[in-house]
């Protein structure tokens, strides 16, 4: 293993790493904006047709590989008149994929709340809307964080597949170096280190947020007694 070559190659991998971070964070954010509200709606009684559409969407996302979804976005968007760069096609594919899982994460977190939370809120005179946003959601968000962190990790790793549509993310950058140097093992090792570092950073952020939100909820509960 040529560690000197790995160190020397880091500047060439840096643009790919930065693009991977942008793809992952932006895709995750858009997916959260889509997935969490739909998950909340799915947890409550909504019209049957809307429920069927959301369930079908989740079924498609969970039943097809991310590679198929990326190719679908790459070839179908131009057919319907949407002409965007491979970067934004990648964002669309990652957001589409992650939102399907986040719908289930949000739905499960809402449904896991004890009925006593609703009964207590209603006894205090809170309506359904205020109960959801001031009682249920703050606690549900705390329960969403661990699976959300896992979903973020999956999205980071899934972004490597975007190399098939010429997005110059970390995996694509490493492949370009392999083509020039034939240092296959070295680039595999370098990719692994950088992906793990990114995943660990996001996991630690999730742990910090979980502790911070948990502490805030405890302080709020104590102040209300």
pLDDT band at residue 8 under the 50/70/90 scheme:
confident
41-50, 131-140, 150-159, 180-189: which is most confident: 150-159
Tell me 44's DSSP state: S
For the chain, helix, strand, coil in percent to 5 are 85, 0, 15
Q: How many CB atoms lie within 10 A of CB 41?
A: 18
pLDDT in tens, 114-146: 877 777 777 777 777 788 887 888 888 888 888
d(CA 38, CA 54): 8
pLDDT in tens, 192-202: 999 999 999 98
Neighbours of 98 (CB within 10 A): 28
Domain 3-223 indexed as CATH 1.10.150.120: no
Q: Give the DSSP H/E element, type plus range, for residue 222.
A: helix 184-223
């Amino acid at each position: 293993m040529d560690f000197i070559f790995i160190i020397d190659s880091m500047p060439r991998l840096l643009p790919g790493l930065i693009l991977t971070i942008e793809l992952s964070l932006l895709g995750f954010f858009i997916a959260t904006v889509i997935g969490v509200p739909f998950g909340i709606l799915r947890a409550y009684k909504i019209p049957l047709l809307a429920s069927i559409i959301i369930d079908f969407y989740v079924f498609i996302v969970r039943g097809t590989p991310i590679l198929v979804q990326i190719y679908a976005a790459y070839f179908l968007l131009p057919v319907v008149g949407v002409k965007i760069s491979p970067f934004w096609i990648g964002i669309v594919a990652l957001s589409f994929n992650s939102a399907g899982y986040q719908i289930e994460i949000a739905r499960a977190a809402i449904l896991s709340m004890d009925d006593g939370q609703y009964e207590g809120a209603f006894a205090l005179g809170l309506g359904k809307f205020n109960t959801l946003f001031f009682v249920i959601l703050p606690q549900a968000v705390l329960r969403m964080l661990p699976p959300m962190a896992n979903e973020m990790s999956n999205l980071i790793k899934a972004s490597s597949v975007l190399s098939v549509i010429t997005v110059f993310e970390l995996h694509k950058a490493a492949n370009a170096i392999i083509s020039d140097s034939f240092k296959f093992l070295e680039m595999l090792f370098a990719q692994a280190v950088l992906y793990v570092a990114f995943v660990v950073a996001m996991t630690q952020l999730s742990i910090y947020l979980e502790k911070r939100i948990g502490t805030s909820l405890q302080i709020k509960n104590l102040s209300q007694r």
